[in-house]
Amino acid sequence: MVEPLKVGLAGLGTVGSAVVRMLANSRDLLALRAGRPIELAAFCSKDPPKDKGIDLGKARKVADPVALAKDSGIDVLVELMGGEGDPAKSTVEAALGMGRPVITANKALIAKHGVSLARLAEKNGATLAFEAAVAGGIPVIKTLREGLGGAKISRVYGILNGTCNYILTRMQKESRSFADCLKEAQRLGYAEADPTFDIGGFDTAHKIAILTSLAFGTEVDAEAVHVEGIETISLADLESADQLGYRVKLLGVAQRTETGIEQRVHPTMVPKGSVIAEVDGVLNAVAIDSDAADLTLVGPGAGGPATSSAVVADLVDLACGRRSPPFGRPAANLLKPKRAPMQRHEGGYYIRLAAVDRPGTMATIAKGMAGEKISLESIVQRHPGPRPHGGDDPKSAEGPAPVILITYATTEDAVRRALAAVEREGVLAEKPQVIRIEKS
């Protein structure tokens, strides 16, 4: 009889519990696909299982995750504790250091220490796999690492955080405020009590840093990612986007440019009708542009069932003996990334200004744009909104007039310099809102 692949599981949260359930419920199918049974042999968890209904069977409980990593009764360590530091880091290092394969869903760990862990794995002949670290159930890691052959990738981008996509979708479809939609996301379990990591764009930044390495053969360079969140997006922006033929999405983008690799996370306007624009709710989507084919992968980006399917897929590969370098090439052959500064980013921009309603304001705005040679595709000036306390004079009751500018392709620094010049003239009542427009 073929010996089973014995799994040591560190972490029994949402994903860990779902992995246990999938190993039990799909035991026969997994044995057929892997050519051998896959069974849970031991586990470690500081808390009770997230899913109270899972059956841990005869699996042994090990008190310490590092001890689990070194346990002679397991063949592979599955790390699902999370976090870029200990205990996850020391646990993974312990397993790789003795040549034991590691499978992880820990995006923070891979974004911060992925290259050094890959070196350690290769030094000791171990496998390091992390399909579940990016986009949950979407097999984007395998696609980038193995599925495109010799295709040269020019850009990888997409919706990589379901929490942000859910909030923006609800705001756009139901005309509800950011704060209201965030509270609903927290109530439904899509957002944490402290949602900063998600809505601030940092979760997406970790994921795009990993995808950048796989797409362009570079060392992971998470510190190079320009990060903006969705906190400043208003209903006015979503309504304007809709009228102009766009949807607003938080995108992670990695692009090969003449000046280097550009990595950025920010709210983005994408054309209605494009695949990315139509991905709503908690779904994720990843688009890959290459000289051979353009692909878009859509699916659930988080949650127990989706993420556990990616973890188990890595287990099946391991059981079958399928191995690839963690980042698609030996760690020694990963290139030092050449950073393209965000100031040189070139594309179209949406700019919303709160213009003071007085003669000459529009001329001042136009002069500021012309001074940086920024061509405008469209200008929309709306009626001023009411002031909160306007007094009896109808004129004084009017607030600033919203002005929407859509630019042709220009550079980031040109836009920033132009807006700074306009602000110095005292014709704006509040800080300008700038949203980049991404070609799809």
Residue 209 sits at the vertex; the CA angle it makes with 235 and 190, to the nearest 5 degrees, is: 45
Residue 427 in tokens: 């014709």
Average pLDDT, the chain: 93
pLDDT at 54 over 60: yes
Determine the length of the chain. Answer: 440
Coil, helix or strand at residue 244: helix
Mean pLDDT check: name the lowest of 186-190, 210-214, 360-364, 382-386.
382-386
- Topology of the domain covering 144-300: Dihydrodipicolinate Reductase; domain 2 (3.30.360)
H or E element that contains 102: strand 102-104
- Answer yes or no: are the C-beta atoms of 245 and 271 closer than 8 Å: yes
318 pLDDT band (50/70/90 cuts)?
A: very high
Which position has the higher pLDDT, 400 or 213? 213
Among residues 88, 123, 124, 119, the alpha carbon closest in space to that of 106 is found at 88
pLDDT at 333 over 70: yes
52 pLDDT band (50/70/90 cuts)?
A: confident
What sign has the CA pseudo-torsion 220, 225, 230, 234? negative
Instruction: Compute the distance between CA of residue 166 and CA of residue 283 in angstroms, rounded to an integer.
Output: 8
pLDDT at 80 over 60: yes
Instruction: Compute the distance between CA of residue 229 and CA of residue 385 in angstroms, rounded to an integer.
Output: 26
H or E element that contains 385: none
Instruction: Compute the distance between CA of residue 167 and CA of residue 78 in angstroms, rounded to an integer.
Output: 32
403 pLDDT band (50/70/90 cuts)?
A: very high
Residue 284 in tokens: 């994720």
Residue 73 in tokens: 């009764």
The region that residue 99 occupies, defined by phi over 0 for left and psi between -120 and 50 for alpha, beta otherwise, is left
The pLDDT assigned to 397 comes to 45
pTM assigned to the model: 0.92
The pLDDT assigned to 144 comes to 95
Among residues 156, 161, 350, 162, the alpha carbon closest in space to that of 263 is found at 156
434 phi and psi angles, rounded to 5 deg = -125, 125
| Side-chain half-sphere CA neighbours of 20 within 13 A | 28
Instruction: Compute the distance between CA of residue 146 and CA of residue 317 in angstroms, rounded to an integer.
Output: 13
- Answer yes or no: are the C-beta atoms of 127 and 318 closer than 8 Å: yes
Superfamily of domain 5-133: NAD(P)-binding Rossmann-like Domain (3.40.50.720)
The domain ranges of the chain are 5-133, 144-300, 345-437
Whether 367 is a known active-site residue: answer no
pLDDT at 387 over 90: no
Which position has the higher pLDDT, 392 or 337? 337
Residue 8 in tokens: 């040591």
Among residues 327, 299, 307, the alpha carbon closest in space to that of 213 is found at 327
Instruction: Compute the distance between CA of residue 80 and CA of residue 106 in angstroms, rounded to an integer.
Output: 7
Q: What angle separates helix 162-174 from helix 178-187, to the nearest 10 degrees?
A: 130
Instruction: Compute the distance between CA of residue 439 and CA of residue 358 in angstroms, rounded to an integer.
Output: 36
- Topology of the domain covering 345-437: Alpha-Beta Plaits (3.30.70)
Instruction: Compute the distance between CA of residue 348 and CA of residue 378 in angstroms, rounded to an integer.
Output: 11
Instruction: Compute the distance between CA of residue 77 and CA of residue 104 in angstroms, rounded to an integer.
Output: 8
Those residues whose C-beta lies under 8 Å from the C-beta of residue 354, and which sit 6 or more positions away, are 399, 400, 401, 402, 403, 428, 429, 430
Segment 155-161 shows an average pLDDT of 97
393 pLDDT band (50/70/90 cuts)?
A: very low
Give the rounded percent of residues in the chain with a pLDDT score beyond 90: 84
pLDDT at 395 over 70: no
Q: Which of 207, 338, 367, 431 is catalytic?
A: 207
Question: Quick count: other Cβ atoms within 10 Å of Cβ 182?
Answer: 23
pLDDT at 391 over 60: no
The pLDDT assigned to 386 comes to 56
Q: What is the pLDDT of residues 408-436, one digit of tens each?
A: 999 999 999 999 999 999 999 999 999 99
pLDDT at 20 over 90: yes
- Answer yes or no: are the C-beta atoms of 78 and 96 closer than 8 Å: no
**Strands 102-104, 76-79: pairing kind:** parallel
Which position has the higher pLDDT, 170 or 400? 170
What sign has the CA pseudo-torsion 348, 262, 127, 201? negative
- Answer yes or no: are the C-beta atoms of 13 and 302 closer than 8 Å: no
pLDDT at 40 over 50: yes
Q: DSSP readout, 401-423? A: EEEEEEE-SEEHHHHHHHHHHHH
